[in-house]
Amino acid sequence: MNEQVVQKLSARFGEQTFETSEFRGELTVVVPKEKIVEVCRFLKEDVDLQFDLLADLCGIDMYTPMKRFGVIYNLYSLKNKHRIRLKTFTEEEDPKVPTVTSVWRTANWHEREAYDMFGILFEGHPDLRRMYLPDEFEYFPLRKDFPLMGIPGSLPLPKK
């Protein structure tokens, strides 16, 4: 099944080869962020693949200047009972990734969570607000440079 996915991808996006790796039968494809929506839509709508479930979408902080932030998409095909993983990276300055809400509606809240924790801006997202933290909070707590105990005074307490 993994070979079929790689084959289909290289047939469709022939001019551009994606970096792929396989570990214990799990396929990971690294996709440039400009192509991510197109690749996702292809994987979902292709009749043989049908990756119709976005099982999870999460952010990652690599803590390197060029590939500072990443977004990881875990896809599942209900028809083939098969999982693959997509990865895309973005730079530290202006961390933008196009949204995949147009492909899977469920990406809406997942992307909001990744924005809340990492500050990754999903371009074209219909409702990019904070998810867990208060609206007035200014930091992104899962970034590597955020201290564990937070920044003093950033979360005000009610008066005693």
Partner 1 sequence: MGLEHALGDSFLTTKLEAAINWCRKNSLFPMPMGISCCAIEMMAFAGPKFDVSRFGSEVFRFSPRQSDVMIVAGTTTYKMAKVVRKIYDQMPDPKWVIAMGACTSSGGMYRTYSVVQGIDLFLPVDVYVAGCPPRPDNLIHALMVLQEKVSRGESRGSSTAIMGDFTTNKPQPLPVVAG
What residues make contact with partner 1 under the rule CB under 8 A?
132-134, 141, 146-151, 155-160
Give residue for tokens 């999870």: 56
Phi, psi for 116 (deg, rounded to 5): -60, -40
Residues whose CB is less than 8 angstroms from the CB of residue 43 and which lie 6 or more positions away in sequence, other chains included: 5, 9, 49, 51, 75, 84
Q: How far is the CB of 60 from partner 1 (least distance, A)?
A: 19
Q: How far is the CB of 141 from partner 1 (least distance, A)?
A: 6
**Which CB sits closer to partner 1, 65 or 153?**
153
Q: Which DSSP state fits 17?
A: P
Structure tokens given for 42: 């292809």
The length of the chain in residues reads 160
Q: How far is the CB of 132 from partner 1 (least distance, A)?
A: 8
**Which CB sits closer to partner 1, 81 or 129?**
129
Q: How far is the CB of 113 from partner 1 (least distance, A)?
A: 14
**Which CB sits closer to partner 1, 65 or 158?**
158
**Which CB sits closer to partner 1, 119 or 141?**
141
Is 111 in contact with 99 (CB distance < 8 Å)?
yes
| DSSP β-bridge partners for residue 57 | 73
**Which CB sits closer to partner 1, 121 or 133?**
133
Q: Which DSSP state fits 45?
A: H
